[in-house]
């Protein structure tokens, strides 16, 4: 196989590049920041996004999309969700006609409320549509880079393409399951970040395990309701992309969304938290998109609504919890 192009050198893109290099693939890793790309190429360390790991020489660092994409049979796209449309438009002219594209981004496009699969379909020629795959599930980048056993889901429109991508990514410590429910896997991967913000808020306030268990359970129920309303398979939300990723991001210390929620729960303001942050907490944008989708599909999502109010309307975290606890009593 030709060299694999990885678009996006954040923590996750860097960890997946290390995984691919460990399997013997050559990797072209695209970094948006030219100065950081030049530094990383010399030091062989991504000190900003994934410090502590040496990058082998089989990973070439580049700030040129053409060099990262041209003549590559596989492209692994690992960008913040809000940049996907723009960056894919930029690299589309360099794509090989037979290239497989694997997206490892998690989010919903805010302006259109489209899942990223539909964004890719709008930008890319139809010949690429059946060669799109979407990677999601419980996977902290640092632990993958440390080669800790991890299980994850890969959704694909074409089962044969999904099988090929599964084989490319699977290792002794990284087990990839395939799934045909692209929409469900995407929605679960995006919405869990909003639930993780809520989990962090509970932690920041000082609530205990009872409260966290209730949030996780009801959060998954909300995610599934919205997914089913849009045509996703409800069983997806009981799998790695759903329950698995919710548990990880709601309880794990490495979760950026949870960490943001903790600071909100302790009384910090969102603008102060986001100022100067290099890494992206996808749940902030996704909270607004999810709330708008809930309104569009007339789906009851009280946790999503309270997180939206907390982020964008300045609601007090304790008031948000009170609102959830004093809602009309009903069947589970």
Active site residue 278: no
Contacts with 278 (C-beta within 8 Å, 6 or more apart), sequence order: 48, 49
- The CA–CA distances, whole Å, from 19 to 144, 171, 243 equal 8, 8, 24
Q: What is the sign, positive or negative, of the torsion defined by CA atoms of 93, 95, 98, 104?
A: negative
Which residues are paired to 5 by β-bridges?
Answer: 28, 75
**Tokens in use for 245?**
């990723």
Long-range contacts of 321-326 (CB under 8 A, 24+ apart): 321/201, 321/202, 321/205, 321/207, 321/211
Marked catalytic residue, from 23, 26, 72, 192: 192
Residue with tokens 């998109």: 289
**How large is the greatest C-alpha to C-alpha distance in the chain, in angstroms?**
61
The SS3 assignment for 38 reads helix
Active site residues: 192
């Amino acid at each position: 196989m030709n060299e694999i192009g990885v678009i996006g050198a954040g923590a996750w893109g860097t960890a997946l590049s290390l995984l691919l290099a460990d399997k013997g693939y050559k990797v072209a890793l695209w970094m948006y920041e030219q100065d950081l790309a030049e530094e990383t190429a010399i030091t062989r360390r991504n000190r900003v996004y994934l410090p502590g790991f040496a990058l082998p020489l089989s990973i070439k660092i580049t700030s040129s999309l053409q060099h990262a994409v041209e003549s590559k049979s596989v492209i692994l796209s690992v960008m913040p969700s809000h940049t996907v449309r723009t960056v894919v438009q930029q690299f589309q002219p360099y794509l090989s006609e037979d290239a497989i594209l694997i997206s490892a981004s998690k989010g919903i496009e805010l302006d259109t409320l489209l899942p990223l699969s539909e964004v890719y379909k709008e930008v890319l020629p139809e010949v690429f549509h059946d060669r799109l795959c979407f990677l999601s599930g419980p996977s902290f980048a640092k632990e993958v880079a440390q080669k800790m056993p991890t299980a994850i889901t890969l959704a694909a429109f074409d089962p044969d393409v999904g099988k090929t991508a599964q084989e490319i990514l699977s290792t002794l410590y990284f087990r990839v399951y395939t799934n045909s429910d692209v929409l469900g896997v995407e929605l679960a991967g995006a919405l869990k970040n909003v639930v993780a913000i809520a989990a962090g808020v509970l932690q920041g306030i000082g609530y205990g395990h009872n409260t966290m268990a209730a949030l996780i359970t009801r959060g998954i129920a909300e995610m599934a309701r919205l997914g089913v309303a849009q045509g996703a398979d409800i069983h997806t939300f009981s799998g790695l992309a759903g329950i698995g990723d919710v548990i990880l991001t709601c309880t794990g210390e490495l979760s950026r969304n949870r960490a943001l929620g903790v600071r909100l729960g302790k009384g910090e303001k969102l603008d102060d938290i986001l100022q100067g942050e290099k890494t992206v907490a996808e749940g902030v944008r996704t909270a607004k998109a999810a709330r708008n989708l809930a309104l569009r599909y007339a789906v009851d999502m009280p946790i999503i609504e309270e997180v939206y109010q907390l982020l964008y309307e300045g609601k007090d975290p304790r008031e948000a919890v009170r609102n959830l606890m004093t809602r009309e009593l009903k069947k589970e």
